[in-house]
Amino acid sequence: MTRAVEEAELRLQGIVSPTPLQPSARLSELYGANILIKREDMQAVRSFKIRGAYNKIASLSAEDRRRPIVCASAGNHAQGVALAATLTGRRATLFMPRGAPLPKRMASREYGAHVVLVEDAVDECMVQAAIYAEQRGAVLVPPFDDPGVIAGQGTIGLEILEEAPDIEAIVVPVGGGGLLSGIAAAARGLRPDLRVFGVQPEGAAAMARSLEAGRRVSVDEPRTMADGVALKRPSALTVAHAAALVEGVVTVSEEEISRAMLILLERAKAVVEPAGALAVAALLAGRIPGGGPAVAVVSGGNLDPMLLTKLIEHGLSAAGRYLVLRVVLDDRPGALHRLTGALAEMDLNVLAVEHHRSGVELPLAAVEVIVTLETRDPEHRLEVADTLRAMGHRVEQLG
């Protein structure tokens, strides 16, 4: 497999630029060891997917090059296939879930592809794409279940070891497993002692469950904000790769994903989609054993701007930086002033205040105040409600 990855690296020259491998002092401090970030969010189409898509399409036989291209994707693979098809002088048809983020659908069209929306998850899109390929004689470019696609993704592993040959571990986001399979095959082919870990959301952990069961296992309804890895089932090929080459696949919560996105935004100035933040989330949550230098692969940055505010707020809350309180005050002059004074004494930044006298269930001589606060850290967040209650205020935490 290492040979196939090296051939893919030659094929991708002039198409794919090696992405930065950035040190992060803050992540290293939080993890307790040296952490490097592989910035695939800075790749063409803002994800690693162009690597596998182009390698697959560019290596087709002369006969297959005359056939149309089709694929199924939640978004990033679709963009990779669309661009790769355009670069090789053809047009692709892409089957995407109707719920795929609008920017990913729009970008795929802008790269020259025809997009067909499907009323289900990406797994159903894969079924529809396979039917289309059979009926139209098209070449199917799978998102992960293909040796050529896996070899293209594996070029990331070669780049990592060329720049950081002494690392002890590589941590990789996992959906169907193509990225994990390629990196593990390439990197461990050169460094058999290297440890490679995969990461999935708790609500979409089909690969983790498959490895535990020793067979392919499905997740009936993947539930996660990380749409790029929300797959029901990995392939037999990627499960076999993971079982042979990977140390393990761990899971992270939605709150841990949000926290990782926030830290990447603040400390690395990286606007990363939820799936792209999985490796960082696992390191910060202590899911990866060992204390040596490690690389976190940031796999994509195609984040819907409409979701960015919600995700930042979610990440702030998960990191203990964001607090919403309902406080019931006596309806008398100066009560609100005393409350805001108490908040200032606790070194709290007040982001919003809502003051209600009617429309809520309150005693006649009382008012309700909803305050949104910025706190320093989880410990500071926990102190706030207790301090206000000790002052005689009736307090309920809303978020």
In tens, the pLDDT along 75-88 reads 899 999 999 999 99
Angstrom CA distances, 195 to 91, 184, 281, 315, stand at 39, 9, 18, 29
Q: Are 244 and 112 contained in the same domain?
A: no
237 versus 392: the higher-pLDDT residue is 237
How far is the C-alpha of 260 from the C-alpha of 268, rounded, in Å?
11
- Other CB atoms within a 10 A radius of the CB of residue 399 amount to 11
292 versus 308: the higher-pLDDT residue is 292
Q: Residues, the chain, total? A: 399
Among residues 263, 298, 317, the one where a domain terminates is: 317
Enclosing domain of residue 313: 2-48+147-317
Query: Which pLDDT belongs to residue 83?
Result: 94
How far is the C-alpha of 255 from the C-alpha of 99, rounded, in Å?
22
Q: Please tell me the least confidently modeled range out of 317-321, 340-344, 386-390, 391-395.
A: 317-321
Query: Which pLDDT belongs to residue 62?
Result: 87
> pLDDT per residue over 154-181, tens digit each?
999 999 999 999 999 999 999 999 999 9
Q: Are 159 and 88 contained in the same domain?
A: no
With the C-alpha atoms ordered 381, 387, 388, 390, is the resulting torsion angle positive or negative? Answer: positive
Query: Quick one: DSSP state of residue 286?
Result: T
* Burial class (CB within 10 angstroms; exposed 0-12, middle 13-18, buried 19+) of 215: exposed
**Res. 359: pLDDT tops 60:** no
Q: How open is the CA angle 73-299-197, to the nearest 5 degrees?
A: 105
Among residues 99, 124, 140, the one where a domain terminates is: 140
Question: What DSSP string runs through 238-281?
Answer: HHHHHHHH-SEEEEE-HHHHHHHHHHHHHHS-----TGGGHHHH
Query: Which pLDDT belongs to residue 51?
Result: 97
pLDDT band at 386 (very low <50, low <70, confident <90, very high): confident
Number of domains the chain contains: 3
Helix, strand, coil content of the chain in percent (nearest 5): 45, 20, 35
Q: Are 7 and 119 contained in the same domain?
A: no
- Other CB atoms within a 10 A radius of the CB of residue 14 amount to 6
Structure tokens at 315: 């990440």
Among candidates 68, 149, 158, which has minimal Cα distance to 116?
A: 68
Q: Are 177 and 278 contained in the same domain?
A: yes
Q: Are 346 and 308 contained in the same domain?
A: no
What is the C-alpha radius of gyration for the chain, rounded to an integer number of angstroms? 24
Among candidates 352, 390, 349, 385, which has minimal Cα distance to 370?
A: 352
Q: Are 209 and 300 contained in the same domain?
A: yes
> pLDDT per residue over 38-63, tens digit each?
999 999 899 999 999 999 999 998 88
Report H helices in the chain: 2-11, 25-31, 49-58, 76-87, 102-110, 122-136, 147-163, 178-190, 206-213, 236-245, 254-267, 278-284, 305-318, 335-345, 378-390
Q: Give the CATH number, domain containing residue 300.
A: 3.40.50.1100
Q: Are 244 and 210 contained in the same domain?
A: yes
**Res. 393: pLDDT tops 90:** no
**Res. 321: pLDDT tops 80:** no
Q: Are 20 and 75 contained in the same domain?
A: no
Query: Which pLDDT belongs to residue 324?
Result: 85
334 versus 45: the higher-pLDDT residue is 45
Query: Which pLDDT belongs to residue 26?
Result: 86
Among residues 317, 340, 363, the one where a domain terminates is: 317
Q: Are 195 and 216 contained in the same domain?
A: yes
Choose from 7-11, 258-262, 378-382 the range with maximum mean pLDDT. Answer: 7-11
pLDDT band at 397 (very low <50, low <70, confident <90, very high): confident
How far is the C-alpha of 44 from the C-alpha of 84, rounded, in Å?
10
Q: Are 288 and 186 contained in the same domain?
A: yes
Q: Are 186 and 242 contained in the same domain?
A: yes
By the 8 A CB rule, do 155 and 16 touch? yes
Q: Are 75 and 22 contained in the same domain?
A: no
373 versus 212: the higher-pLDDT residue is 212
Q: Give the CATH number, domain containing residue 356.
A: 3.30.70.260
